[in-house]
Chain A
Amino acid sequence: MNKLIKWGLPVVGLVVLGIGWYLGLAWAPPDREMGDVQRIMYVHVPLQWMAMLAMFLNFVMAVTHLLKSKPGWKLDSMAESAAEVGLVLGTLGMVTGAIWGRPTWGVYWSWDPRLTSEAIMLVTYTGYLVLRRFVEDPDKRATWSAVVAILGAINLPIVWFSVRWWRSLHQVQSSPKTVDPQMVLPLRVSAIGLLLLTIAWLFHRYRIALAERRAEVALPEALPGSGAPSVHDTPKVA
């Protein structure tokens, strides 16, 4: 089972994503108004979906960690990997959005509610990951970062609904009813491919985080930068 996730999932994910992108970039018709520029949707939209999914996973792990009376390291490690993967996906999503924004809106960046709330989200999770690096005690780190994750997750619904609440420059989420079926299919295939890749990536990152946590608890001086005094630092008695 483990081997299947480790090797099978990324391979299948890459193949599906490749098919999805081929369909999106070569098979689907160009948009009537935006032309070929619109095709970045097959990259940008799945990236943002997966980023939101990863951030939501981080929130669920944080809540579960705080609710459990005896939480182990698994929840904390999963929360850490979800935040990291989500941050990378969200940043890529924002960059692809900016690349699309330049020819379409005329600017890379606009202070639109969706873009602004997304930027706040990315900075929030950067802070979350920085906090994790600055706390040595693994127990305290797990609890504190769970609290910070919950406080930060309050922004997630704002990011998601911002396009509906404010109706600004960024368009409202489309639904299969409003989009041509020839565009829905590549979008769905790309999203499934990226979902599989994201799951594989999450598992990979999770295994590393869990191993790190176990090493930290078993041997505090084994990890670099753990703050614990190593044998070489012991002052010699004169």
Chain B
Amino acid sequence: MKPSRPRPIGLIGATLALLRKDLLIEWRTRARLNAIVFFAMATLLMFSFALGPDTRLLEKNAGGYFWLAVLFASVLSLGESFRVESENNCMDGVRLAPADPRAIYLSKALGNTLLLVALGTLLLPVMVALYGVRVATGFVDLGTVLLLGSLALSAPGTVYAAISSNARARDVLLPLLLFPLVIPALLSAAKATTLVLQGDPMNQLGSWLGLLLGFNLIYWGVGFMLFPRIIED
């Protein structure tokens, strides 16, 4: 039998292969998704305890609380996203593969995005039950906000997770670096969600989504360019 020559693998192929590997590991344990879903639900519950059982107030601010819960959960999820690689020096193995190192960034950031979208989808029924929210402008708008917001948290978050997973005091470092940076994304995602939930009479949704899109373009671009420098030895 002739030994098969290794086929060159492109950026997209490598990204999908790595993403498949990460999702498979996640699917087999489901540890990360379970943890962040319960954490985020507990956060939503805590807001109603901290503010008192005023359903009108909770409904009015639901967009902000939702994104704060997602942000806090995303820090947990991002912190875990490089754990598989940092154990047993697996990052060296991944880096030695004849593939573009930027594929590691894309696969990790897309994996984090998918996890946050799943989290957001599971949180919505909880918000309906706890805060009494309605979706005024439709689920397509809500899905767009959720997707763009999750992408926006994941793009810089993955860069910072890769850095802090190798630094001392990583649990402090990741939120310290990430929170100030994602404030524009958090603000626009929360405003857009509030508009989706409560109606958009002044047609403002588009401008907030545009801001989110711009944030995504900048940080996905910068992260994609700079990531190989972070993991090089």
Please list the residues of chain A having a beta carbon within 8 angstroms of any beta carbon in chain B: 66, 116, 120, 123-124, 126-128, 130-131, 134-136, 140, 143-144, 146-148, 150-152, 154-155, 158, 227
User: Are B177 and A120 in contact, CB atoms less than 8 angstroms apart?
Assistant: no
Q: Are B167 and A66 closer than 8 Å at their CB atoms?
A: no
Number of interchain pairs (Cβ within 8 Å): 64
Q: Which one, B164, B168, B172, contacts A136 given CB within 8 A?
A: B168
**A134–B168 touching, CB < 8 Å:** yes
Chain A nearest CB from B173 CB (Å) reads 6
In the complex, which residues of chain B have a beta carbon less than 8 angstroms from the beta carbon of A135? 166-168
Interchain CB contact under 8 A, A134 and B173: yes
The reply to whether A124 and B168 contact each other, CB–CB distance below 8 Å, is no
In contact, B230 and A123 (Cβ under 8 angstroms): no
Contacts of B24 in A (CB 8 A): none
Docked complex: B112-163 residues within 8 A CB-CB of A: 156, 159-160, 163
Q: Could you name 20 residue pairs across A and B whose Cβ atoms are closer than 8 Å?
A: A66-B226, A124-B180, A127-B180, A130-B172, A131-B167, A131-B173, A134-B173, A135-B168, A143-B229, A143-B232, A144-B163, A146-B229, A147-B226, A148-B163, A148-B177, A150-B226, A151-B222, A152-B181, A155-B181, A158-B184
Given known pairs A123-B180, A124-B180, the reply for A154 and B218 (CB within 8 Å) is yes
- Please report B residues at the A interface, Cβ cutoff 8 Å: 156, 159-160, 163-164, 166-169, 172-173, 176-177, 179-181, 183-184, 218-219, 222-223, 226, 229-230, 232
Q: Would B176 and A227 count as touching, CB distance under 8 A?
A: no
Report the separation of the CA atoms of residues A152 and B163 in the bound assembly, to the nearest whole angstrom: 14
A194 to chain B, nearest CB (A): 26
Are A150 and B163 in touch, CB under 8 angstroms? no
How long is the Cα–Cα vector from A148 to B164 in the complex, in angstroms? 11
Question: Which of A134, A150, A151, A155 contacts B167, CB < 8 Å?
Answer: A134
Find B176's partner among A130, A143, A144 (CB 8 Å cutoff).
A130
